[in-house]
Structure 1
Amino acid sequence: MPSVTYQTSGKTIEVEQDANLLRTSIRYEGSVPYKCGGGLCGTCRVQIVDGHEHLSKIMKKEVDRLGQEKLDQGFRLACQTFVTGDVTISWGEEDLNRLGKIAQRRINAAQ
């Protein structure tokens, strides 16, 4: 079985072949930041540290949300990416800060 290492949260999880990175993170508390889970918002952006060759092809939603420059730097949307072998992913403070700002806007809008 393939394994996914969520480097930022320090978890490694064995997954089924063709498992989705975001769904696996949600199910096993990998802690990938996310909002929508459908490729619309881009909050589940992760960087592939190792195992690019063990991922599904890049989807149109990823090109639209991330742009070619980020894709070339190894970024993917976890919600659009499926695993065929061992992979290591990470996400940075800027991703967590961006998600925090989105959450704060939602809180302010509800008040």
Structure 2
Amino acid sequence: MPQIIFVSNGGKAVEAPENSNLLRVSLREKGGIPFKCGGGLCGTCKCKIVEGLANTDAVKAKERKHFSDEDFAQGHRLACQTFVNGDVSVTW
């Protein structure tokens, strides 16, 4: 199972099934990613994948309203719209 490291939460490491939603894992495991709507509208769950960006799914249209292509290249994502398929480390 992929390992998710919540760097901004003291490096807390958890395991989650493949294709797990990053925000849902954070909520379930007390990872600490901030959120409000959970639907890609508010942008509160903006985060940065600092390791393992290739282990995330494709960028969604809702995310394009919050980030530029350069932001995506640097690893910025919305946790509520991001699904992980391998090990990642995330900050916010």
Counterpart Cα distance in 1 of 2:85 and 2:53: 10
TM-score by length of 1: 0.79
Could you say which structure has the higher strand fraction?
A: 2
Deviation at 1:70, TM superposition (A): 1.9
User: Which stretches in structure 2 are left out of the alignment for 5+ residues?
Assistant: none
1:9-88 equivalences in 2 (<5 Å): 9=9, 10-88=11-89
TM-score by length of 2: 0.94
User: Which stretches in structure 1 are left out of the alignment for 5+ residues?
Assistant: 92-111
Structure 1 position 2 matched with structure 2 position 2: yes
Deviation at 1:72, TM superposition (A): 2.5
Counterpart Cα distance in 1 of 2:70 and 2:54: 18
Structure 1 residue runs of 4 or more that deviate by more than 6 Å after TM superposition: none
Paired letter, 1:4: I
Aligned sequence identity (%): 47
- 3-state SS of paired residue (2:66): helix
1:83-94 equivalences in 2 (<5 Å): 83-91=84-92
Paired letter, 1:8: S
Counterpart Cα distance in 2 of 1:19 and 1:72: 21
Contact 1:17-1:83 at 8 Å conserved across structures: yes
- Larger relative contact order (Cα-Cα within 8 Å, sequence gap ≥ 6): 2
RMSD of aligned C-alpha atoms? 0.9
Structure of greater Rg: 1
